[in-house]
Protein backbone atom coordinates (compact mmCIF):
# COMPACT_ATOMS: atom_id res chain seq x y z
CA UNK A 1 0.00 0.00 0.00
CA UNK A 2 1.63 3.24 -1.13
CA UNK A 3 1.88 6.16 1.25
CA UNK A 4 1.63 9.65 -0.19
CA UNK A 5 4.14 11.96 1.46
CA UNK A 6 3.29 15.46 2.58
CA UNK A 7 6.68 17.15 2.39
CA UNK A 8 5.63 20.66 3.33
CA UNK A 9 3.37 20.24 6.38
CA UNK A 10 4.57 21.35 9.80
CA UNK A 11 2.95 18.66 11.91
CA UNK A 12 3.91 20.43 15.12
CA UNK A 13 1.78 23.51 14.33
CA UNK A 14 -1.61 24.03 15.94
CA UNK A 15 -3.19 24.79 12.56
CA UNK A 16 -2.04 21.46 11.14
CA UNK A 17 -3.24 19.57 14.20
CA UNK A 18 -6.70 21.17 14.05
CA UNK A 19 -7.07 20.47 10.32
CA UNK A 20 -5.87 16.89 10.77
CA UNK A 21 -8.29 16.34 13.65
CA UNK A 22 -11.20 17.61 11.55
CA UNK A 23 -10.28 15.20 8.75
CA UNK A 24 -9.60 12.26 11.08
CA UNK A 25 -11.75 12.59 14.21
CA UNK A 26 -11.29 8.88 14.93
CA UNK A 27 -7.60 9.51 15.66
CA UNK A 28 -8.06 12.27 18.22
CA UNK A 29 -8.27 9.88 21.16
CA UNK A 30 -5.04 8.17 20.24
CA UNK A 31 -3.19 11.46 19.88
CA UNK A 32 -4.50 12.72 23.22
CA UNK A 33 -3.24 9.54 24.90
CA UNK A 34 0.16 9.93 23.25
CA UNK A 35 0.38 13.57 24.32
CA UNK A 36 -0.53 12.71 27.89
CA UNK A 37 2.06 9.94 27.96
CA UNK A 38 4.64 12.30 26.49
CA UNK A 39 4.01 14.88 29.22
CA UNK A 40 4.30 12.22 31.92
CA UNK A 41 7.47 10.64 30.53
CA UNK A 42 9.15 14.02 30.05
CA UNK A 43 9.02 14.54 33.81
CA UNK A 44 10.70 11.18 34.44
CA UNK A 45 13.24 10.89 31.61
CA UNK A 46 15.38 13.84 30.61
CA UNK A 47 17.60 12.11 28.04
CA UNK A 48 16.09 10.87 24.79
CA UNK A 49 17.21 7.23 25.03
CA UNK A 50 15.61 6.74 28.43
CA UNK A 51 12.48 8.53 27.23
CA UNK A 52 12.09 6.46 24.08
CA UNK A 53 12.91 3.24 25.91
CA UNK A 54 9.91 4.00 28.13
CA UNK A 55 7.78 4.68 25.04
CA UNK A 56 8.77 1.31 23.60
CA UNK A 57 8.00 -0.44 26.88
CA UNK A 58 4.52 1.10 26.84
CA UNK A 59 3.88 0.27 23.18
CA UNK A 60 5.31 -3.25 23.37
CA UNK A 61 3.15 -4.11 26.37
CA UNK A 62 0.07 -3.44 24.20
CA UNK A 63 1.24 -4.92 20.90
CA UNK A 64 4.87 -5.61 19.86
CA UNK A 65 4.04 -5.41 16.15
CA UNK A 66 2.31 -2.05 16.57
CA UNK A 67 5.30 -0.89 18.65
CA UNK A 68 7.47 -1.11 15.53
CA UNK A 69 4.89 0.67 13.41
CA UNK A 70 2.67 -2.12 12.06
CA UNK A 71 -0.98 -2.00 13.03
CA UNK A 72 -1.77 -5.45 11.60
CA UNK A 73 0.20 -8.67 11.24
CA UNK A 74 -0.17 -8.53 7.46
CA UNK A 75 1.34 -5.05 7.47
CA UNK A 76 4.15 -6.27 9.74
CA UNK A 77 4.94 -8.99 7.23
CA UNK A 78 4.68 -6.67 4.24
CA UNK A 79 6.98 -3.97 5.66
CA UNK A 80 9.56 -6.54 6.68
CA UNK A 81 9.50 -8.07 3.22
CA UNK A 82 9.85 -4.62 1.64
CA UNK A 83 13.05 -3.98 3.58
CA UNK A 84 14.43 -7.44 2.83
CA UNK A 85 13.61 -7.37 -0.88
CA UNK A 86 15.18 -3.94 -1.24
CA UNK A 87 18.52 -5.00 0.23
CA UNK A 88 18.41 -8.29 -1.64
CA UNK A 89 18.04 -6.27 -4.83
CA UNK A 90 21.06 -4.24 -3.78
CA UNK A 91 23.26 -7.28 -3.49
CA UNK A 92 22.82 -8.56 0.07
CA UNK A 93 24.52 -11.96 -0.03
CA UNK A 94 24.52 -14.79 2.54
CA UNK A 95 28.21 -14.27 3.37
CA UNK A 96 27.72 -10.59 4.26
CA UNK A 97 27.81 -9.44 7.86
CA UNK A 98 24.93 -7.18 8.84
CA UNK A 99 24.35 -4.77 11.71
CA UNK A 100 20.66 -3.94 12.19
CA UNK A 101 20.31 -0.79 14.31
CA UNK A 102 16.91 -0.66 16.00
CA UNK A 103 16.15 -4.25 15.05
CA UNK A 104 12.86 -4.19 16.99
CA UNK A 105 11.01 -7.50 17.10
CA UNK A 106 12.67 -8.66 13.86
CA UNK A 107 9.99 -7.46 11.48
CA UNK A 108 12.61 -7.56 8.73
CA UNK A 109 15.33 -9.11 10.86
CA UNK A 110 14.04 -12.68 10.73
CA UNK A 111 14.23 -12.59 6.95
CA UNK A 112 17.80 -11.27 7.10
CA UNK A 113 18.73 -13.95 9.64
CA UNK A 114 17.25 -16.66 7.43
CA UNK A 115 19.20 -15.37 4.41
CA UNK A 116 22.59 -14.82 6.06
CA UNK A 117 25.15 -17.35 7.22
CA UNK A 118 24.94 -18.32 10.92
CA UNK A 119 26.28 -15.62 13.21
CA UNK A 120 26.32 -12.96 10.48
CA UNK A 121 23.35 -10.95 11.79
CA UNK A 122 23.82 -8.52 14.69
CA UNK A 123 20.71 -6.71 15.91
CA UNK A 124 20.81 -3.94 18.51
CA UNK A 125 18.03 -1.98 20.16
CA UNK A 126 17.56 0.35 23.13
CA UNK A 127 14.47 -1.52 24.34
CA UNK A 128 14.78 -4.72 26.39
CA UNK A 129 11.04 -5.27 25.99
CA UNK A 130 11.16 -5.34 22.19
CA UNK A 131 14.24 -7.59 22.25
CA UNK A 132 12.28 -10.15 24.28
CA UNK A 133 9.67 -10.02 21.53
CA UNK A 134 12.48 -10.41 18.97
CA UNK A 135 13.56 -13.66 20.60
CA UNK A 136 9.97 -14.88 20.41
CA UNK A 137 9.94 -14.08 16.67
CA UNK A 138 13.20 -15.97 16.27
CA UNK A 139 11.68 -19.00 18.00
CA UNK A 140 8.46 -18.89 15.95
CA UNK A 141 10.48 -18.82 12.74
CA UNK A 142 12.69 -21.70 13.97
CA UNK A 143 15.89 -19.80 13.25
CA UNK A 144 17.81 -20.77 16.40
CA UNK A 145 20.52 -22.52 14.36
CA UNK A 146 21.38 -19.21 12.69
CA UNK A 147 22.79 -17.93 16.01
CA UNK A 148 21.98 -14.23 15.56
CA UNK A 149 23.25 -11.67 18.04
CA UNK A 150 20.52 -9.63 19.74
CA UNK A 151 21.95 -6.98 22.03
CA UNK A 152 20.63 -4.05 24.04
CA UNK A 153 22.46 -0.74 23.70
CA UNK A 154 22.35 2.60 25.47
CA UNK A 155 23.77 4.71 22.63
CA UNK A 156 25.02 4.55 19.04
CA UNK A 157 28.75 4.88 19.65
CA UNK A 158 29.11 1.22 18.65
CA UNK A 159 32.34 0.92 20.63
CA UNK A 160 31.64 -2.73 21.55
CA UNK A 161 31.66 -3.78 17.88
CA UNK A 162 34.74 -4.68 15.79
CA UNK A 163 36.37 -2.34 13.30
CA UNK A 164 35.72 -2.79 9.55
CA UNK A 165 33.41 -5.76 10.20
CA UNK A 166 29.96 -5.09 8.71
CA UNK A 167 29.21 -5.12 5.00
CA UNK A 168 25.71 -3.73 5.58
CA UNK A 169 24.48 -1.50 8.38
CA UNK A 170 20.74 -0.93 8.41
CA UNK A 171 18.51 1.40 10.44
CA UNK A 172 14.84 1.40 9.50
CA UNK A 173 12.55 3.87 11.27
CA UNK A 174 15.23 4.82 13.80
CA UNK A 175 16.25 8.34 12.78
CA UNK A 176 12.57 9.20 12.33
CA UNK A 177 12.40 8.95 16.13
CA UNK A 178 15.78 10.54 16.89
CA UNK A 179 16.91 14.09 17.65
CA UNK A 180 19.80 15.36 15.58
CA UNK A 181 22.31 14.70 18.39
CA UNK A 182 21.58 10.96 18.27
CA UNK A 183 21.92 10.88 14.47
CA UNK A 184 25.20 12.79 14.71
CA UNK A 185 26.51 10.28 17.27
CA UNK A 186 25.71 7.37 14.98
CA UNK A 187 27.28 8.98 11.90
CA UNK A 188 30.38 9.85 13.92
CA UNK A 189 31.01 6.17 14.68
CA UNK A 190 29.40 4.03 11.97
CA UNK A 191 32.28 4.53 9.52
CA UNK A 192 34.61 2.66 11.88
CA UNK A 193 32.54 -0.56 11.82
CA UNK A 194 31.88 -0.55 8.06
CA UNK A 195 33.89 -3.08 6.08
CA UNK A 196 35.65 -1.86 2.92
CA UNK A 197 32.97 -1.37 0.29
CA UNK A 198 30.21 -1.57 2.89
CA UNK A 199 27.27 0.81 3.22
CA UNK A 200 24.86 2.14 5.83
CA UNK A 201 21.19 2.54 4.84
CA UNK A 202 18.82 4.53 7.04
CA UNK A 203 15.30 5.84 6.65
CA UNK A 204 14.04 9.18 7.89
CA UNK A 205 10.90 11.28 7.87
CA UNK A 206 11.57 13.85 5.14
CA UNK A 207 10.35 17.39 4.92
CA UNK A 208 11.05 20.11 2.39
CA UNK A 209 9.73 22.75 4.77
CA UNK A 210 10.86 23.66 8.28
CA UNK A 211 12.42 20.85 10.25
CA UNK A 212 10.31 19.98 13.26
CA UNK A 213 9.27 17.34 15.73
CA UNK A 214 5.95 16.06 17.10
CA UNK A 215 6.13 15.38 20.83
CA UNK A 216 9.52 13.68 21.41
CA UNK A 217 8.60 10.75 19.20
CA UNK A 218 8.63 11.92 15.56
CA UNK A 219 11.33 14.04 13.88
CA UNK A 220 11.26 15.51 10.37
CA UNK A 221 14.49 16.45 8.55
CA UNK A 222 15.52 17.89 5.22
CA UNK A 223 17.66 15.59 3.10
CA UNK A 224 20.50 18.09 2.83
CA UNK A 225 20.75 18.38 6.61
CA UNK A 226 21.56 14.68 6.92
CA UNK A 227 23.81 14.61 3.85
CA UNK A 228 25.84 17.50 5.27
CA UNK A 229 25.98 15.86 8.69
CA UNK A 230 27.42 12.69 7.16
CA UNK A 231 30.02 14.73 5.25
CA UNK A 232 31.22 16.29 8.51
CA UNK A 233 32.28 12.79 9.54
CA UNK A 234 34.02 11.97 6.27
CA UNK A 235 31.10 9.98 4.88
CA UNK A 236 29.44 10.20 1.49
CA UNK A 237 25.63 10.17 1.54
CA UNK A 238 23.18 9.89 -1.32
CA UNK A 239 19.41 9.92 -1.52
CA UNK A 240 17.98 6.58 -2.68
CA UNK A 241 15.49 7.39 -5.42
CA UNK A 242 14.58 3.75 -6.05
CA UNK A 243 13.31 3.41 -2.47
CA UNK A 244 10.90 6.29 -3.13
CA UNK A 245 9.29 4.24 -5.88
CA UNK A 246 8.15 1.65 -3.32
CA UNK A 247 5.74 4.13 -1.75
CA UNK A 248 6.99 3.87 1.82
CA UNK A 249 6.17 6.81 4.08
CA UNK A 250 9.83 7.43 4.95
CA UNK A 251 12.73 8.22 2.67
CA UNK A 252 16.13 6.51 2.56
CA UNK A 253 19.76 7.67 2.47
CA UNK A 254 22.79 5.47 1.85
CA UNK A 255 26.10 6.33 3.50
CA UNK A 256 29.51 5.02 2.48
CA UNK A 257 32.94 5.66 3.92
- CATH code where residue 22 lies: 3.40.50.150
The residue ranking higher by pLDDT, 27 or 233, is: 233
Tell me if 172 is assigned to some domain.
Answer: yes
Question: What are phi and psi for residue 57, nearest 5 degrees?
Answer: -60, -40
Give me the pLDDT at residue 67, please.
86
Question: How many folded domains does the chain comprise?
Answer: 1
Tell me if 9 is assigned to some domain.
Answer: no
Which ranges constitute the DSSP H helices of the chain?
14-23, 28-44, 48-62, 64-67, 73-89, 109-115, 128-140, 180-193, 223-232, 241-244
Q: Does the structure show a pLDDT above 90 at 69?
A: no
Q: Does the structure show a pLDDT above 90 at 167?
A: yes
Tell me if 8 is assigned to some domain.
Answer: no
Distances (CA, A) of 29 to 35, 41, 146: 10, 18, 42
The boundaries of the domain holding residue 210 are 14-256
Tell me if 4 is assigned to some domain.
Answer: no
Give me the pLDDT at residue 129, please.
95
What HEC string does 173-196 produce? Answer: CCHHHCCHHHHHHHHHHHHHHEEE
Alpha carbon distance 131, 124 (integer Å): 8
Average pLDDT over every residue of 150-156: 97
Tell me if 44 is assigned to some domain.
Answer: yes
Alpha carbon distance 186, 156 (integer Å): 5
Tell me if 7 is assigned to some domain.
Answer: no
The reported pTM is: 0.91
Q: For 61-65, 97-101, 128-132, which range has the lowest pLDDT when averaged over its residues?
A: 61-65
Average pLDDT over every residue of 166-192: 97
What percent of the chain has a predicted confidence (pLDDT) above 70? 98
Whose CA is closest to 238, among 224, 248, 249, 250? 224
Tell me if 242 is assigned to some domain.
Answer: yes
Give residue 3's pLDDT band: very low, low, confident or very high (50, 70, 90).
low
Give residue 4's pLDDT band: very low, low, confident or very high (50, 70, 90).
low
Tell me if 131 is assigned to some domain.
Answer: yes
Amino acid sequence: MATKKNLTADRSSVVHKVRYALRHPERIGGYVRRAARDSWLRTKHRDHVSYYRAVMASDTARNPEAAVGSQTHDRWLALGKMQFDYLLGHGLAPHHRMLDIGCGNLRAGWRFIEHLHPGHYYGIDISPDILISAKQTLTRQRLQEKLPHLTITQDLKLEFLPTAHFDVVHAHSVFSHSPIEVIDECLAHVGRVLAPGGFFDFTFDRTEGEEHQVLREDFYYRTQTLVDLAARHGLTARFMDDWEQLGHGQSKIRVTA
